[in-house]
Amino acid sequence: MTAIDHQYFPHIIDVIFDTAPPASLAVMARACREWRDCVLSRFHHVQDVRIEQVDGAIQTVFYIPTKSNEGVYYNHVGLTPNCLGLLAGCKILDITEDPSRRTIRELPNLDTVRYHFDWQAYTAISARQIVCAGHIYPIMEFDPTVKRLVIHSGGSSDYFYSNTYPDLCGLTSLEELVLLFEDVLSCLEDFDYTEDELAEYSDEDLSPDLDCPLWLLSTVEDVIHAGLEQGAKVLLVGTELWNTYAFGALKRGLMRTYDIELTSADDGVTLMTVDGYRELVGEKEWEIETNFGSVVFSP
């Protein structure tokens, strides 16, 4: 690949990169390494990749989130088969619609998938990391590529939801499970069950209810157990924001149901504060895991 000295090119080149159609970008990407990197960076973060028939031809269509002074807007893009190489630049995929409509085969360098909604079915995705907004469902389909699973709760995702036991047996290479409670969930704010009151309840008494604190804590227990069953390290972030009753109930529930000592490192669960975790992962990763309305730019 040749090199081009860009100091002799006017700044209008940047405008061309921003406005050129995919076919032109594909040609420009073959000009030199710098242009290739510039073109691929425009596909770093995409949303809802799927295959559709457009004007009688098959295209891979998706949206590219773009930040402007007025906020975030979404550019609709359609790629013909000879332009699919542009998606080699995609590192982050947002899923906001029915997963049965999407395809991810054209994303060879995908790193992170973010699920914005309560997904009912899981399709194996060749990505290192899955990030979910306040929900988790069983992942039974074999997917050996996922190393890290993050479930974020807080902000607009003021819930922690699974309508059944969150079996993660499909994630055979899972190394780390992060339960990230950025804020105190509203149903836990006034949690004041005593130990005697908690003893009156069992899991059989509970049914899925986003406003029921005992059901939420039972779900957290199940997710922690599911991660440990896969041999993953579990990182529980943000419980310092809970009151002592809520945290105590979680500890007792884990010990009673799964014989897991929450404060014992030997049991594979590590507690971390929100600030400590944010410092650990860095601002860019924090933005990816907590701000589902953000636009993530290529480094």
The arithmetic mean of pLDDT across residues 176-198, rounded, is 88
Q: What's residue 11's pLDDT? A: 64
Least confident of 2-11, 72-81, 117-126, 262-271: 2-11
As a whole number of angstroms, the distance between CA 99 and CA 69 comes to 31
**Which of 71-80, 204-213, 219-228 has the weakest average pLDDT?**
204-213
DSSP codes, 61-98: EEEEEEEETTEEEEEEEEE-GGGGGGGGG--EEEE-S-
From 114, 68, 112, 61, select the one nearest 90 (Cα to Cα).
Answer: 112
Query: Is pLDDT at 122 greater than 80 in this prediction?
Result: no
CA 172, 97, 182, 204: dihedral to nearest 10 degrees?
A: -70
Greatest mean pLDDT range, 55-69, 199-213, 273-287: 273-287
Residue with tokens 């997904």, as numbered in its chain: 119
Q: What is the pTM of this model?
A: 0.89
Answer whether 194's CB lies under 8 Å from 252's CB: no
CB contact at 8 A, 281 and 289: yes
pLDDT tens-place string over residues 265-298: 677 899 999 999 999 999 999 999 999 888 887 7
Q: Give the three-class secondary structure for 272.
A: strand
List CB contacts of 27: < 8 A, sequence separation 6 or more.
Answer: none
R_g of the chain computed on alpha carbons:
22
Cα–Cα distance for residue pair 117/97, rounded to 1 Å: 7
Note the pLDDT of residue 165. Answer: 86
Q: What is the DSSP letter of 297?
A: P
Say what percent of the chain tops pLDDT 70: 87
5, amino acid identity: D
Contact indicator for 288, 44 with CB cutoff of 8 Å: no
* pLDDT for position 267: 79
The residue ranges of every structural domain in the chain are: 111-290
Instruction: Evaluate if residue 207 carries a pLDDT over 70.
Output: no
Q: Which residues contact 39 (CB under 8 A, 6 or more apart)?
A: 17, 25, 26, 28, 29, 86, 89
Residue 9 is predicted with a pLDDT of 57
Closest CA to 243 of 292, 189, 297, 291: 189
pLDDT the model gives residue 285: 96
Instruction: Give yes or no for residue 131 having a pLDDT over 80.
Output: yes
- Produce one character per residue of 11-37: b if its CB has 16 or more CB atoms within 10 Å, e if not: eeeeeebeeeebeebbebbeebeebbe
100's CB contacts (< 8 A; 6+ apart) are: 121, 123
Name the pLDDT band for 96 (thresholds 50, 70, 90): confident
**Contact between 268 and 233 (Cβ < 8 Å):** yes
Q: How far is CA 248 from CA 179, 235, 253, 261, in A?
A: 17, 18, 8, 12
